[in-house]
Amino acid sequence: MISYTYFAILFFTVIVCFIASFDHRIKFNRYFVPFIKAAIVVAIPFIAWDVWFTSKGVWWFNNDYTLGVILAGLPVEEWLFFICIPFSCVFTYFCFDLFFKWNKLSSFNNIIVFVGIIVCSLIALLHYDKVYTLVTAVATILTLIYLHFIARVPWIGKASAVYTILMLGFFPVNGILTGTGLQSPIVNYNPDDFLGIRMLTIPLEDAVYGYTQFLLVLYFFKLFKGITNDED
């Protein structure tokens, strides 16, 4: 049964959101296709990043906790990660956007972007020798620059608020993946390649990595869904 651990984490992360998608008040199931398109577009560079880091030993997987199906050096569960986790995140954003009047959060866009870029830039400059830290910081900087200054999306403040709330789920999910409650972690990290700052067992970089992935999937979801007005 231990080999189902990673799969079970993904299943229980997504199943409630998936079932709730069919609720007549939400009807998120109408947007499964644009979501899948968005998730795949973003998954391509993130999986390439994953394959690269795994091959270089930046991180690696304990296959005792996986089904044992390996694709391009990654457990099949890791591929599913890039669908299941974004699904729950985008679904949560969709629900908040549906039920709450929260457009005032858009007024925080500038400060979130500028603080994010400055902090990530400083970290990248100070820790350029730590590849996970550096690549995560650069990816976040580029994402924020594109979304705010080029695409001019109005929802970064809202997305950031949702991601903060999603941290309540992030801690148990990523906590288990990084060893909380297990004899050994499912995902292991080379201590030379990241800051070494952990939230419980979770590297700080994981939270920033997840934030960047969430912003990009949400962007493409809205794009494929056909939303163009500033109210979204």
pLDDT digits (tens, 9 = 90+) for 202-218: 999 999 999 999 999 99
Q: Indicate the pLDDT class of residue 232, thresholds 50, 70 and 90.
A: very low
pLDDT for position 138 = 98
C-alpha span between 81 and 92 (Å, rounded): 17
pLDDT for position 231 = 44
Per the domain annotation, does 150 fall within a domain? no
Q: Which two tokens stand for residue 46?
A: 């993130």
- pLDDT above 80 (res 26): yes
Per the domain annotation, does 139 fall within a domain? no
Q: Which of 8-17, 21-30, 80-89, 167-176 has the lowest mean pLDDT?
A: 167-176
Q: Is 80 exposed, middle or buried (0-12, 13-18, 19+ CB in 10 A)?
A: middle
Q: Which of 56-60, 79-83, 169-173, 207-211 has the lowest mean pLDDT?
A: 169-173
Per the domain annotation, does 21 fall within a domain? yes
The whole-model pTM stands at 0.94
Per the domain annotation, does 129 fall within a domain? no
- pLDDT above 90 (res 228): no
Please give the average per-residue pLDDT across 138-143, as a whole number.
Answer: 98
Per the domain annotation, does 122 fall within a domain? no
Q: Which of 46-60, 147-161, 175-189, 218-232 has the lowest mean pLDDT?
A: 218-232
Per the domain annotation, does 115 fall within a domain? no
* Average pLDDT value over all residues in the chain: 94
pLDDT for position 77 = 97
Please give the average per-residue pLDDT across 84-106, as a whole number.
Answer: 93
- pLDDT above 70 (res 124): yes
Orientation angle between helical segments 131-145 and 109-126, nearest 10 degrees = 150
Domain residues for the domain of 87 are: 2-104+155-225
Per the domain annotation, does 137 fall within a domain? no
Please give the average per-residue pLDDT across 52-61, as a whole number.
Answer: 97
Q: Indicate the pLDDT class of residue 104, thresholds 50, 70 and 90.
A: confident
On whether the CB atoms of residues 77 and 10 are closer than 8 A, the answer is yes
Q: Indicate the pLDDT class of residue 229, thresholds 50, 70 and 90.
A: very low
Per the domain annotation, does 121 fall within a domain? no
Percentage of the chain surpassing pLDDT 70? Answer: 97
Q: Please name every residue paired with 122 in a beta bridge, in sequence order, or none if there are none.
A: none
On whether the CB atoms of residues 121 and 114 are closer than 8 A, the answer is no
pLDDT for position 52 = 98
* Total number of domains constituting the chain: 1
pLDDT for position 212 = 98
- pLDDT above 70 (res 227): no
To which residue do tokens 């990595």 refer?
A: 209
